[in-house]
Structure 1
Amino acid sequence: MKTAFIKTVLASAAVLVTTQALAEITVGVSIPMTGPASGLGIPMNNGLKMWPATVAGEKIKLVILDDATDPSKGVQNVRRLTTEDKVDLIMGSGATPVAIAMAAVAAETSTPQLALSPIQLPPGKDTWSFRLPQSNGVMANAMVSHMLKGGVKTVAFIGYADAYGEGWLQELSPRLEKAGIKLLVTERFNRADTSVTAQALKVAGANPDAVVVVASGSGAAMPQLAVLERGFKGRIYQTHAAASKDLMRVGGKAVEGTFVTAGPVVVAEQLPATHPSRELGIKFNAAYEQIHGPGSRNQFAAHSYDGYLMLEQVVPVALKKAKPGTPEFRAALKEALESAKGLAVTHGVLDYTPTDHWGFRPDTGVVMKVVNGEWKLEN
């Protein structure tokens, strides 16, 4: 009888241990580690590798898949993550068209998505999607303000013929109009293009005061170089998808003087002492550059690491309502994100609400200038 009792206790303990092991928080990630947007996905993966093993006392498991910058692959990844891996949270993609495709599956499966690109979705279609990067509008605020200070009166646009390029054009155009800055030319190209000669001729031929290049990673250098080779002498602005040293590596001395919008983490040491992201950014940059070398910091690795900083603040709230691995926990995470205020991360402060899943405050963006191959804070 005593032996049977002991066996029962041991069996119960085994079940308890197994249950506790299964209660870990599982995060499914789909990022472009290959393909045209790999310059974003690789540092994002590096940022994920810096996540601690636990969050709010719970073990955290990352399942990371490559979407190869392909929307259909991104959808395939998310379906696997939600059905086979039973994830509590989705992250990705770093490529905007892929992240948009993933958002549909997130909504269908009622799984929170932390998008790693500034995805623009129709009203009501982002119920389960939250953006970690700053919106194109937030960055356009900083860019247009800088243009006004510099006396810019006319602009030409050359950008991706996809959701990222279109999103930037939609946000930039009304801000330029309101500021009294005329948009002279709008040219588009595909991510996989190896030449933009025709587009660059039209942009340079318009002779604007400034050119806005909307591209990502090392690919952002190509259109800039093409415009410069055709005699353009004015200002060139790049977006936050180009906020990495890949721009300098590919463009060399030709990109000196380029203005690039970015999140504050890239120039954390140059921020005012009172900035809420200064210390977080300095700490992250030091840790990242210790692993990947001086000057390796970038916008994208910090976005994926910000996912952890956010979870640190919302997981304890969600755990009060449900256990990981359940639909109730996924719903509790969504509710915690929507109700949290002042979530400080390396890129700024997030204030999500039930009707606003963009989060970052309008003045979050900064403008940097390439000076001697380094980033210099402009504003």
Structure 2
Amino acid sequence: MRRRSFTALATVVALSVAVAGCNRGGDEAGDSDPIVVGSTLSLTGAFAATGAIHKVAGEEFVDRLNAAGGLLGRKVEWKVVDDQSDQSKVSQLYERLISQDKVDLLMGPYATPNILSAMAVAQRHGYVLPQHTAVLAPQLTYECQFPAWSIGPTPNSFIPNQLFDAVATLNPAPKKIAVLTSQSGSAAFVSDGFGDDKAGVLSIAKERGLDVAVNVHYPPTTTDWAPIATQVRDANPDLVIDNGLGVDAVNILTAMKQLNYTPRKMFALFPAPGPLLAAGAQAEGMLSVSMFEPNQATLAKLPPEATEIVNDFTKRATAAKLPYTVFETQATASWNAWQILTEGVKAVNGTDQKKICDALHEKGVDTTFSGHLTFDPKDHNFWPTTQTLKQIQNGDWVTVWPADKAAAPIK
């Protein structure tokens, strides 16, 4: 097996920066060495719980790919490095993967800040970068980054409108809302808009005649949730919207429970799904965004391979002792990203980065869980969204909106 040097000379690196990505590869079908995909993931640190999901999904994909003959007749090897949930480390690690480890292909990391750092390196070297989870399209300007999760080119408008359309069908429909917003860049745009585009939950609620009774922005480092819970309880809104991350919604529910208060209806933007289910009756009826939930009604519409993937993931996630072992949005985004990468390679019969990028723009890609994806650089490659809303019903996440994709009606 050919060994990739960890000590490439600086002069060679400097000369190769402009051409490394564009000219690597070509027709490599006769090469017996593995095709190496390099990436970082947050395997430790604040993002580790979600990073572990992407690791299990990626390992499953590569194993299935190699069992089917690999890529271009060659085994695929995934070299994944722990970025420790530290954005400052990501650029250095991707530089090493490209310039020293000489990887053939790249896969993006988890979390928007890390993806932006990786994207800058990929652009500098001319590499294609599929990425799972950065959805704020205006930030992702590199024409050869390909999103595996799309909420369209203006997610700050799409998410509120989808939510308000859904809850408007309830009887009675919400009239008074509370908006709680993490100041994280991965969430605040849904409340406040982004850049010159000020559309978001707050402005769209006003346009729809909703009364915003509570409007709180909280730092991601918040540990005392009692003041926020008290404001919500005192306002007693019809709908609480938490545009937050991870376990924010669980912390808010816990603080509310200590006040003997349960919200009538609540939405959590990008939550950790397992902890919310573990919150029990307090979280019943919780709404959130989704790309895919393995509800039987949904799986029945997909080829048998989808059920095999879902079941295998659960086995692997259980063995890895993940707290939530269901193949849902994060795993789906990961699967899409790997399909974008490998189908691009197949389309050009090689690993030439420019050819892969052009082929994806020209042909798009078929995915198992999100259908055919098309990539338009004018929209930063963000394809027409397939996002749905899910709800906790009887202790399980169920797709409830839009109606034509729902496994159960919204409650």
TM-score of the aligned structures, taking structure 2 as reference length = 0.75
Please state if 1:336 is matched with 2:359. yes
Give the secondary-structure state (helix, strand or coil) at the position aligned to 1:164.
Answer: coil
Task: Give the Cα–Cα distance (whole angstroms) in 2 for the partners of residues 124 and 366 of structure 1.
Answer: 22
Give the corresponding residue for 2:368: 345
Give the corresponding residue for 2:166: 146
Give the Å deviation of 1:158: 1.9
Task: Give the Cα–Cα distance (whole angstroms) in 2 for the partners of residues 56 and 19 of structure 1.
Answer: 8
Give the secondary-structure state (helix, strand or coil) at the position aligned to 1:195.
Answer: coil
Give the corresponding residue for 2:288: 260
Aligned pair in 2 of structure 1 residues 260, 134: CA closer, same or farther (>3 Å)?
A: same
Aligned pair in 2 of structure 1 residues 159, 124: CA closer, same or farther (>3 Å)?
A: closer
Give the Å deviation of 1:42: 0.7
Task: Give the Cα–Cα distance (whole angstroms) in 1 for the partners of residues 314 and 50 of structure 2.
Answer: 17
Matched residues, percent identical? 19
Task: Give the Cα–Cα distance (whole angstroms) in 1 for the partners of residues 165 and 283 of structure 2.
Answer: 21
**Structure 2: gaps (5+ residues):** 1-27, 194-199, 319-323, 402-411
Aligned pair in 2 of structure 1 residues 248, 339: CA closer, same or farther (>3 Å)?
A: same
Give the corresponding residue for 2:252: 223
Q: How does 1:211-360 map to 2 (within 5 A)?
A: 211-230=240-259, 231-239=261-269, 241-242=270-271, 244-249=273-278, 251-264=279-292, 266-271=293-298, 274=301, 281-293=306-318, 296-319=326-349, 323-324=350-351, 329-341=352-364, 343-360=366-383
Task: Give the Cα–Cα distance (whole angstroms) in 1 for the partners of residues 134 and 311 of structure 2.
Answer: 26
Task: Give the Cα–Cα distance (whole angstroms) in 1 for the partners of residues 397 and 148 of structure 2.
Answer: 22
Give the corresponding residue for 1:4: none
Give the corresponding residue for 1:96: 112
Give the Å deviation of 1:178: 4.5
Give the secondary-structure state (helix, strand or coil) at the position aligned to 1:55.
Answer: coil
Task: Give the Cα–Cα distance (whole angstroms) in 1 for the partners of residues 161 and 365 of structure 2.
Answer: 21
Give the Å deviation of 1:352: 1.2
Aligned residue among 176, 179, 184 for 2:205: 176
Give the secondary-structure state (helix, strand or coil) at the position aligned to 2:214.
Answer: strand
Task: Give the Cα–Cα distance (whole angstroms) in 2 for the partners of residues 272 and 305 of structure 1.
Answer: 16
Aligned pair in 2 of structure 1 residues 39, 172: CA closer, same or farther (>3 Å)?
A: farther
Task: Give the Cα–Cα distance (whole angstroms) in 1 for the partners of residues 206 and 35 of structure 2.
Answer: 47
Provide Cα deviations, 1:241-265, integer angstroms capped at 9, x if missing partner: 326323223x23321221122112x
Please state if 1:125 is matched with 2:141. yes
Task: Give the Cα–Cα distance (whole angstroms) in 2 for the partners of residues 246 and 130 of structure 1.
Answer: 30
Contact 2:294–2:328 under 8 Å retained in 1 = no
Contact 1:159–1:213 under 8 Å retained in 2 = yes
Please state if 1:207 is matched with 2:223. no
Give the Å deviation of 1:87: 3.2
Contact 2:36–2:78 under 8 Å retained in 1 = yes
Matched residue type, 2:335: Y
Give the Å deviation of 1:297: 2.6
Task: Give the Cα–Cα distance (whole angstroms) in 1 for the partners of residues 96 and 83 of structure 2.
Answer: 12
Aligned pair in 2 of structure 1 residues 61, 302: CA closer, same or farther (>3 Å)?
A: same
Give the Å deviation of 1:210: 0.9
Task: Give the Cα–Cα distance (whole angstroms) in 1 for the partners of residues 215 and 97 of structure 2.
Answer: 39
Aligned residue among 205, 215, 218 for 1:189: 218
Give the Å deviation of 1:123: 6.5
Matched residue type, 2:31: Q
Contact 2:137–2:379 under 8 Å retained in 1 = no
Provide Cα deviations, 1:73-98, integer angstroms capped at 9, x if missing partner: 22222222222223344333322222
Task: Give the Cα–Cα distance (whole angstroms) in 2 for the partners of residues 125 and 344 of structure 1.
Answer: 23
Give the corresponding residue for 2:35: 25
Please state if 1:87 is matched with 2:103. yes
Matched residue type, 1:306: N
Matched residue type, 2:307: I
Matched residue type, 2:361: E
Please state if 1:57 is matched with 2:73. yes
Give the secondary-structure state (helix, strand or coil) at the position aligned to 1:267.
Answer: coil
Provide Cα deviations, 1:305-349, integer angstroms capped at 9, x if missing partner: 222222343222232xxx43xxxx111221122222463332454
Aligned pair in 2 of structure 1 residues 353, 87: CA closer, same or farther (>3 Å)?
A: farther
